[in-house]
Structure 1
């Protein structure tokens, strides 16, 4: 199998967590770590370094501009590292730092809470009258 095909298979298997289903109501969850996409980027990078295009695949709803802004903010905050490899064309990879990796249990806890309580939260929003 050609190297590119192997890389695409690896990317599809290891970067597309099932929780990124387009129907996922993640924007309804009241717990947010960093920007809207930060938690999902952490989940994508949790299994190892990824290139920008490898992050775009599971994060279909994010524009390249917003993903770039998210990665820059995460790098600024010490959550990810950006490594430019001296190749032609240049290859850039993003990886979680130990600080970024420390978010994984928090994201898991928020996800577990949401799975249990999201129906109640959405029902309360439907019946709320200011």
Structure 2
């Protein structure tokens, strides 16, 4: 198990006065727990990422800040240069139906019949790796 942190991100109007100090203290405490990994959602400050990488003794998973673009294969250089042990990719790289830049079909296609128009959105169960229709609403 490992935590996912987002230092310096401004999602939902979050504002942190000193993310460097706060997250350095957090990593000191987390390191003592012998966790499997740390997953960092990078903000726009790459130097903060570098400082946190140095402070973390274990496996460091990085979701790089590439706004406004999506992370692509070039993010692999972050593993090669030691900035991360692994790079995390979002839905655009893991089989999301709209992703077609590789020219291949997605690894995890959603059958069209599973989500006909004007119905509840599909849900994914924890025990199955296929799309299931959402249960009917009780209105």
Superposition TM-score tier, normalisation by shorter sequence: under 0.3
Which has the larger share of helix? 1
Please identify the structure whose Cα radius of gyration is greater: 2
- The TM-score, its normalising length taken from structure 2, stands at 0.24
Which structure has more relative contact order (CA 8 Å, sep 6+)? It is 1
- The TM-score, its normalising length taken from structure 1, stands at 0.25
